[in-house]
Amino acid sequence: MRRPTAILAVIASCVSITTAGAQARQPWSAQGSVLFTTQDFGGTVGTVGGVGAEAQVRRTFPRWSVGAGMQYSKHSSGGDDLGLTGFFIEPRLVLNISAGRFAPYLAGRIAYLRGSFTSEVIDGEGSAGGSAFGAGAGLIYGLTRRVNFDIGGAVLRQSLGEITVDSPTPQPVKFPSFTGYVLKAGLSVGFESANQSGSRASRR
């Protein structure tokens, strides 16, 4: 019985409770990231890669945070291009584990999508609204007190309505629900509130 107890004690000593370690230390922060995505459309189209970017504003609490922002990515296959613009909400939960200066988190995402489709094959373009939801995880690395490096990944289930392509002969283009895989990397910058700035100045 002593050996399991000793093992548990060692594990407990290696696990530290991380509050704001996986987030900005300030209550508000802004983040920009580069996106590398793969969309699995299935059928004859298969998987299509793409790149994009996102920007968000985040409110941080002791154990969790919530962000809201905008994302964009472009995906090309043959003579067809699909641009996906999303307005999203992303909650994060801080895990009670830290590894050096790296701190992990879990995240969810729900978004309103706008898909813009352009086709050289049928010589036209169109757009339609849709939605996305999914989850992922990431790691935060603190560069300075205010600046963090953020890298993470997510899996999203996405759907778009039928797009009527405005070509010489208008044609409907259907997009069945498809899965997206996202890898992102970026920087977040925290902003101190007026109360924090005042208290810091008073201590000087």
pLDDT tens-digit series, residues 162-203: 888 887 777 788 888 999 999 999 999 998 765 555 545 455
Is domain 18-203 given the CATH code 3.90.1170.50 in the classification? no
* Sequence ranges of the domains in the chain: 18-203
pLDDT tens-digit series, residues 101-115: 788 999 999 999 999
Average pLDDT value over all residues in the chain: 84
State how far the Cα of 111 lies from the Cα of 90, in Å rounded to an integer.
Answer: 9
Alpha carbon separation from 97 to 12, 72, 103, 105 (Å, rounded) = 10, 32, 7, 9
Please name the residue that has the structure tokens 């987030």. Answer: 23
Give the single-character DSSP code of 144: S
Residue 168: the pLDDT is 75
